[in-house]
Amino acid sequence: MIKNDIWITQMAQQGDSKNLAMITPFEPSLIRQVQANESESLNRVISYGLSSYGYDIRLSAKEFRIFRHIPGTVIDPKNFNPHNLELTQLHTDKSGSYFILPAHSYGLGVALEKLNVPANITVICIGKSTYARCGIIANLTPAEAAWRGHLTLEFSNSSSADCRIYANEGVVQLLFLEGEPCAVSYDTRQGKYQDQAETVTLAKL
């Protein structure tokens, strides 16, 4: 069963039996405008926060990395070479802060929000329509039962033009699926991506 806004709010504000809030920080409504300070007018943002049957998380401004080709090398998921990922600059103008994902390239970012997934829930991440209409594909793996940390987010620019990806604004939506209690959770089996920090986490074996 997919969980609704009532359940998401309760789990985010009150937490589970261990008093772990499911989403930190949490916005109890869908935010479409923000005000930097009292002297400035409201600025439109790519929405984030609570929706009817999901939650839109934000891209952190801390780090974004883009794949680059190194002649003579092959990307190996069993022995990942961090030099294949290049840090990219955070830009800021009147529209907000953003990273640039070049045409036909692939980049990794990290979620601003921290998750504590309940033991009977699996979280699926899907792309937002605003970015999909710009050719950005969110290639995201699930957050399994009892997973904790900041999600590493993967994006592909399938268009022939460079594209902005805005930091501190909505970037993907989380869907929470409830199932029968599992015998072994991600935490129990000590999954290798547990407790990820707010930095891009590379492939591990």
Q: Is residue 190 part of a domain?
A: no
Catalytic residue among 40, 154, 169, 180: 154
Active site residue 169: no
Cross-sheet strand order for the sheet of 106-110: 85-87, 65-67, 106-110, 152-157, 136-138
Quick one: residue 104, left, alpha or beta (phi over 0 = left, psi -120 to 50 = alpha)?
Answer: left
Identify whether the C-beta of residue 32 lies closer than 8 Å to the C-beta of residue 156.
Answer: no
Which range is least confidently modeled, 12-26, 102-116, 188-202?
Answer: 12-26
What pLDDT, in 10s, does the model give residues 51-67? 999 999 999 999 999 99
What is the reported pTM?
A: 0.92
Length reported for the chain: 205
Q: Is residue 198 part of a domain?
A: no
Q: Is residue 53 part of a domain?
A: yes
pLDDT band for 73, please (50, 70, 90 cuts): confident
Q: Is residue 204 part of a domain?
A: no
Task: Look up the CATH number of the domain holding residue 104.
Answer: 2.70.40.10
Q: Is residue 196 part of a domain?
A: no
Query: What's the mean per-residue pLDDT of the chain?
Result: 93
What ranges in the chain are assigned the alpha helix state H?
5-13, 129-132
Domain count, the chain: 1
Q: Is residue 28 part of a domain?
A: yes
